[in-house]
Amino acid sequence: MKQHVEYHDLGRVDYKQCWDLQEQILDETVRQKIENRTLPTESQFAPRHFLLFCEHPHVFTLGKSGEAHHLLANESVLKAREATFYKINRGGDITYHGPGQLVGYPIFDLDHFFNDIHKYLRFLEEAVILTCADYGIKAGRIAGLTGVWLDEENPIKARKICAFGVRCSRWVTMHGFAFNVNSDLSYFDMIVPCGITDKGVTSLQKELGREVDLEEVKMKVLLHMQSLFNFGIISGDNATLPWPQQLNV
């Protein structure tokens, strides 16, 4: 059965508020999955899948397998650059989120797509690779390194344009990807991005030499995801989100 995903553009939102919202959606989804096991088919909850797009104010996040020393800035530097820092429960090491970056949080019940987290990550990467191609930029993967890269075959020139880090509980996903569109790349100087010391970062803006329409990028990524995962889109305003008070909408 073709699934449908509730798409919400949250705009610029505080990282912790958005993290809390993801946790609540995941917890409710898992609760309903468990409860469905005790209910007759006709009484079971229908699956709900969410895709949240947003930007964040300047923030660094460290995944559960990351190294704290990969944050190179102390508290006073963070304050001076108006940045915050969180240790979080996704996979991966440290990364940066900020204005001009497209952050995507798919909260999918993979039991209704496919039970393969590696395939899930490859599909997310492919959506970004195809979006880069829409702008005439060839992007790809590096074996053993999650993410989307430019000049991926050249160890000296390789640079990351999109980072990924996810959590999966009972096949329900959260966290997601951070696609550098018009990002201020100077903030990456304050970390060892994803714990990788010998490769740089880039953005669509830097590669194209011009600012890129973020709304246009959102729609391209969304349509590529729709095609790859084969889902329909339910466009909802934020009032249809569970627990909207978390985002003050």
Task: Please calculate the CA angle 59-48-166 and round it to the nearest 5 degrees.
Answer: 35
Distance CA 217, CA 209 (A): 16
| 18 in active site | no
Distance CA 79, CA 91 (A): 26
Phi and psi at residue 3, in whole multiples of 5°? -90, 160
State which amino acid sits at residue 72.
L
- Tokens at 97, concatenated: 């989120």
- Number of domains into which the chain is organized: 1
Residue with the two structure tokens 């409860």: 35
pLDDT value, residue 153: 92
What is the pTM for the complete model shown?
Answer: 0.93
Distance CA 195, CA 150 (A): 18
pLDDT (tens, 9 = 90+) of the chain, 249 residues, equals: 899 999 999 999 999 999 999 999 999 999 999 999 999 999 999 999 999 999 999 999 999 888 999 999 999 999 999 999 999 999 889 999 999 999 999 999 999 999 999 999 999 999 999 999 999 999 999 998 889 999 999 989 999 999 999 999 999 999 999 999 999 999 999 998 777 767 799 999 999 999 999 999 999 999 999 999 999 999 866 555 654 444 443
Which position among 18, 54, 132, 194 bears the catalytic label? 194
Distance CA 82, CA 56 (A): 12
DSSP letter (8 states) at residue 59: E
Give me the torsion for CA of 129, 132, 133, 135, rounded to 10°: 170
> Which pairing describes strands 101-107 and 94-97: parallel, antiparallel, or unpaired?
unpaired
**What CATH number has the domain bearing residue 157?**
3.30.930.10
Distance CA 157, CA 195 (A): 17
CA distances from 138 to 1, 126, 128 (A): 34, 12, 11
* Coil, helix or strand at residue 197: coil
Nearest residue to 29 via CA among 173, 165, 167? 173
Helices (H), strands (E): how many in the chain?
A: 5, 12
Check: CB of residue 175 under 8 Å from CB of residue 166. Answer: yes
Phi and psi at residue 199, in whole multiples of 5°? -140, 150
Range of the domain at 20: 3-247
